[in-house]
């Protein structure tokens, strides 16, 4: 006579007790993960997603129009020529250059504090005015450190490949500098002049220069 098969069972209590006996491993793992997560948040620059919608014309907003008009711009514009004119304005190199000049997007200011490098939008530690006559290098970080006690500031920069830009003509040059390096000290209030760099630096009154 054959014996009936024994049903398999799982002792959940035994498994839980075995896991509970190694509780300190879970505590160490959770502590390490929380520390790494906090460090990642602190040293990672913040990112912001920006989205915008451009209303090209108020004309004919409530008019459905034909299929061709819908494809041309959802009947917001009277003809395809209007769309072409608007696209030409939005993609105009001259208009974009004027906008960048007025918004001062040519120079970005960053500050490193507690291993976090963040961009200073509203209140930068100083203001740079480039010499429009000189040819400038661009496309890599340039570090400025201030010694308030000595009344000097130090400019350091290094790049394997430094492209050149004609600020007066607003054009990129075909020439470049290989193994570019600068490490120079200048007095506060005096313009800075070096190979590929020529600018004046202005420090706002009352600003804490010790942290720049």
pLDDT tens string 22-78: 788 888 888 999 989 888 887 777 777 777 666 655 554 455 444 444 444 445 555
End-to-end CA distance of the chain: 90
Would 20 be classed as within a structural domain? no
Of the candidates 180, 168, 98, 102, the one whose C-alpha atom is nearest the C-alpha of residue 139 is 180
Query: Is residue 116 domain-shared with residue 82, that is, in the same domain?
Result: no
Q: Phi, psi (5° rounding) for residue 85?
A: -65, -45
Q: Which residue has the higher pLDDT, 81 or 73?
A: 81
- The reply to whether 204 falls in a domain is yes
Percent of the chain scoring above 90 in pLDDT: 17
Same domain (yes/no): 132, 82: no
Cα–Cα distance measured from residue 52 to residue 133, given in angstroms and rounded to the nearest whole number: 37
Residues 205 and 115 in one domain: yes
Q: How far apart are CA 144 and CA 105, in angstroms?
A: 19
Neighbours of 50 (CB within 10 A): 4
Whether the CB-CB separation of 86 and 186 falls below 8 Å is answered with no
Query: Average pLDDT over the chain, rounded to whole?
Result: 76
Nearest Cα neighbor of 110 from 142, 148, 62 is 142
Same domain, 80 and 136: no
Cα three-residue angle 105-110-116, rounded to 5 degrees: 140
User: Do 86 and 115 share a structural domain?
Assistant: no
Secondary structure (3-state) at 169:
coil
In this prediction, residue 54 carries a pLDDT of: 62
| Structural contact between residues 146 and 202, judged by C-beta atoms closer than 8 angstroms | no
Host domain of residue 161 = 110-211
Same domain for 114 and 60: no
209 has pLDDT over 50: no
Q: What does the pLDDT look like over 107-139, one tens digit per residue?
A: 888 887 777 777 777 778 788 888 888 899 988
In a domain, 152, yes or no: yes
Q: Spell out the residues 6+ positions from residue 212 whose beta carbon is closer than 8 angstroms to its own.
A: 111, 125, 126, 144, 145, 146
pLDDT at 164: 92
Higher pLDDT pick, 179 / 58: 179
Find the Cα–Cα–Cα–Cα dihedral 158, 161, 167, 171, rounded to 10°.
Answer: -170
Cα–Cα nearest to 74, from 86, 59, 52: 59
Query: Residue 125 domain-assigned?
Result: yes
């Amino acid at each position: 006579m054959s014996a009936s098969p024994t049903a398999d069972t799982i002792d959940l209590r035994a498994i839980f007790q075995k896991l509970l006996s190694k509780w300190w491993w879970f505590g160490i793992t959770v502590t390490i993960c929380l520390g790494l997560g906090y460090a990642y948040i602190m040293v990672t620059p913040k990112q912001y997603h920006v989205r915008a919608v451009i209303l090209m014309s108020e004309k004919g907003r409530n008019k459905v129009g034909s299929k061709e008009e819908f494809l041309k711009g959802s009947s917001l514009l009277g003809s395809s020529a209007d769309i072409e004119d608007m696209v030409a304005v939005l993609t105009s190199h001259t208009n974009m250059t004027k906008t960048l000049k007025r918004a001062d997007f040519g120079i970005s200011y960053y500050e490193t504090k507690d291993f976090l490098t963040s961009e200073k939008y509203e209140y930068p530690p100083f203001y740079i005015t480039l010499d429009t006559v000189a040819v400038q290098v661009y496309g890599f970080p340039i570090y400025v450190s201030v010694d308030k006690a000595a009344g000097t500031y130090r400019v350091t920069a290094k790049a394997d490949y430094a492209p050149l830009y004609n600020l007066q003509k607003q054009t990129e040059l075909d020439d470049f500098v290989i193994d570019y390096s600068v490490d120079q000290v200048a007095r506060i209030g005096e313009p800075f002049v070096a190979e590929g760099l020529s600018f004046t630096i202005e420090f706002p009154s009352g600003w804490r220069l010790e942290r720049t």
